Amino acid sequence: MIETIKKRHIESYQKEPLMLKAPSRINIIGEHTDYNLGYSLPAAVKQSLVFALSESEDGDMHLDAVDLNETANFGIRENEYPQGHWTGYFKTMLMELESRGYAVKGINCTFGGDIPIGAGMSSSSALNCGLLFGLNELFDLGLTRREMMFIAQAAEHRFGVKGGLLDQYSILNGKSGHALLLDFKNISHTYVPLEIGEYHFVLFNTCVKHSLVNSPFNQRRNACHRVMDLLAKDDEKIQSFQDFDEATLNRYKDQVDEDDYIKALFVLREDERVLKTVEALKAGDVTALGEYLWQSHAGLRNDYEVSCEELDFLVDHIRDLEGVLGSRMIGGGFGGCTINVIHEDQVQTVWQSLQKAYFDKFGVEAQMVEVEVGEGISLIG
């Protein structure tokens, strides 16, 4: 893929490009906690987008999305784009940088990779972070990785996805063989060794596509923020979901909408599961890791209500299969992948059973993605 992207760029633009790789990420546990200033446990993985970038001769943007077999050309200050179209990520990034006073010129950009689109593996954030990292290198903007996290997040907000920092943080700061315990209140991280012996992390993709812009993702965020705002009025020390417990929330149960209460309760319990998972990993207790995944999915399905029939089927079908320790949906929800902890000797057996059952039920071919934890975003060569 690297050589293909590089060769295509040189053939198209007659320029030796800057090459970089922006990884995908998995989130082991801690879903929908980032924008609630809680905890998550993600890791960068080796599935990635490869970028070839060079400064354009005419000052315009010339883009080549290899996997989509689509190209786009536009002026650097042309802000209009079709709703949800991938070119919007480039235009909102340029707008965000300009609003902060960074001087960016037009580029040629060729990109492609092996991240499943719409699978909850942050293909859009890899695109966003890869673009920003490349612009920073190409035009010597002097941005730190920490600064890039916030700029990339703000650009996605412009695009219409009001997510937290989980994706950008993981992609920019991943470390081979480690997960990151992310503390979104203090915007800090601790590396946690991922040693799970003969078990593997495997993703099963529903191949049901979703768009966060058009899903109820933002509704969940607003529900949690309504609860936070109410508690903060009575106690100024409460600034995040780390600052109160279930007993405190229960004192306000009659003052909040029932659905808002349930959403907030999920976040509190999910934060607790993240910290318990870290302790399980430190103790080498892979069985406990799996149990927390089951619990997380139950909460995402029943309380936060971001699962769907296809995701639930993937989780439920493998629950009693040999070699399976745990499973849950990952990503924003309403489609995408499950993350599963499966013994290396049983991966293919589990997959064969699931693949057939899923097709028989939905008439759709599911996909299996075996993941290996890798480095964060980096230059190539």
CA separation for the pair 371, 290 (Å, rounded): 17
Q: Which two tokens stand for residue 148?
A: 């890039």
Q: Which two tokens stand for residue 237?
A: 């020390």
Using the predicted structure, report yes or no on whether residue 311 has a pLDDT greater than 70. yes
Q: What is the pLDDT of residue 211?
A: 59
Helix ranges (H only) for the chain are 2-13, 87-99, 123-138, 145-159, 166-173, 217-234, 246-251, 258-283, 286-302, 309-318, 347-362
Do 204 and 354 meet the contact criterion of CB atoms below 8 Å apart? Answer: yes
Q: What three-state secondary structure class fits 10?
A: helix
CA separation for the pair 245, 254 (Å, rounded): 16
Do 336 and 120 meet the contact criterion of CB atoms below 8 Å apart? Answer: yes
Is 2-194+375-379 CATH 3.30.230.10? yes
Name which CATH class applies to 199-370. alpha beta
Q: Which two tokens stand for residue 242?
A: 């780390």
Using the predicted structure, report yes or no on whether residue 89 has a pLDDT greater than 60. yes
215 pLDDT band (50/70/90 cuts)?
Answer: low
CA separation for the pair 263, 35 (Å, rounded): 13
Asked about 167 being catalytic, the answer comes back as: yes
Average pLDDT score over residue span 68-77? 94
Catalytic residue, from 167, 260, 271, 303: name it.
Answer: 167
CA separation for the pair 168, 25 (Å, rounded): 9
CA separation for the pair 365, 360 (Å, rounded): 9
Average pLDDT score over residue span 209-234? 83
130 pLDDT band (50/70/90 cuts)?
Answer: very high
CA separation for the pair 229, 276 (Å, rounded): 27
Q: What is the pLDDT of residue 118?
A: 66
Average pLDDT, the chain: 94
Q: Which of 158-162, 215-219, 331-335 comes out lowest in average pLDDT?
A: 215-219
Query: Percent of the chain, pLDDT > 90?
Result: 87
CA separation for the pair 362, 349 (Å, rounded): 20
Do 260 and 253 meet the contact criterion of CB atoms below 8 Å apart? Answer: no
**Domain edges within the chain:** 2-194+375-379, 199-370
| Distance separating the N- and C-terminal Cα atoms of the chain | 14
State how far the alpha carbon of 309 is from the alpha carbons of 106, 303, 305, 333, 358, in Å. 44, 15, 11, 11, 11
Average pLDDT score over residue span 196-211? 89
Among candidate residues 17, 26, 35, the one with its CA nearest the CA of residue 204: 26
Using the predicted structure, report yes or no on whether residue 149 has a pLDDT greater than 60. yes
Using the predicted structure, report yes or no on whether residue 381 has a pLDDT greater than 60. yes
Per-residue burial over 237-265, b = 16 or more CB atoms within 10 Å of its CB, e = otherwise: ebebbbebeeeebeebeeebeeebbbbbb
CA separation for the pair 200, 68 (Å, rounded): 30
Using a cut of 0.95, tell me whether the model's pTM lies above it. Answer: no
Q: What is the pLDDT of residue 208?
A: 85
82 pLDDT band (50/70/90 cuts)?
Answer: confident
